[in-house]
Amino acid sequence: MKNIVLFGPPGAGKGTQADFLKTLYHLIHISTGDVFRNNIKGNTALGLLAKSYMDKGDLVPDKVTIDMLKDEVDKHPHAKGFIFDGFPRTSSQATALDNFLNAKGTPISAMIALEVPEQLLVERLLNRGLTSGRPDDQDEAKIRNRFNEYETKTAILVDYYSAQHKFIGINGVGSIEEITDRLRKAIDSL
């Protein structure tokens, strides 16, 4: 079983790449953003709470995120593995994910980070905001706040997974196919 944390700042291409990787490796793609949006669309209590944070460009608190993620993993008891896209975002989330998956006997195989310069990410998100309808992709100040949140709270996960010898950095600039090929080589080496 391969459990991959696909990591990178907002706009790095995690969702796009996860779509290819889930097919290549027969994995279940769990996008925290999609889980949030599905809960928000369904007007669940957790969804409405998550929305109040997302609308401000802030990260959703760990307890809310972890509860949603556990529910999603438990929906797939026969999975060959998971691609976690957008989770974990903090060291406490990473510890909770490790504890949850280790208890199931299926630890994280690797954290693979897509590395992209910030200005290119801002351009990608503003362009995505033109068609996605997502308010957090239409305001550059909110986008930059998300990068600040990422840098101050999330980037420390590189150290967390490096200490476990599970961190792999991948150049996230280039064509979709080039990036997919880099990711495939990294996953095949696990």
Specify whether the CB–CB gap between 2 and 106 falls below 8 A: no
Q: Which of 22, 142, 146, 182 is catalytic?
A: 146
In whole angstroms, what is the distance from residue 167 CA to residue 160 CA?
A: 8
Q: Which of 14, 22, 142, 182 is catalytic?
A: 14
Q: Is 182 a catalytic residue?
A: no
Which residues on neighbouring strands pair with residue 101, listed in sequence order?
Answer: none
Q: Is 184 a catalytic residue?
A: no
Q: Which of 56, 75, 80, 134 is catalytic?
A: 134
Q: Is 134 a catalytic residue?
A: yes
Q: Which of 22, 89, 142, 182 is catalytic?
A: 89
Q: Which of 37, 51, 124, 128 is catalytic?
A: 128
Which residues on neighbouring strands pair with residue 30, listed in sequence order?
Answer: 84
Q: Is 37 a catalytic residue?
A: no
C-alpha distance from residue 168 to each of 44, 68, 69, 147 (Å): 35, 26, 23, 20
Q: Which two tokens stand for residue 119?
A: 């200005």
Cα-Cα-Cα-Cα dihedral sign, residues 169, 72, 49, 11: positive
Which of 187, 185, 163, 16 has the alpha carbon at shortest distance from 109? 187
Residue with tokens 């769990």: 30
Residues catalogued as catalytic: 14, 89, 128, 134, 146
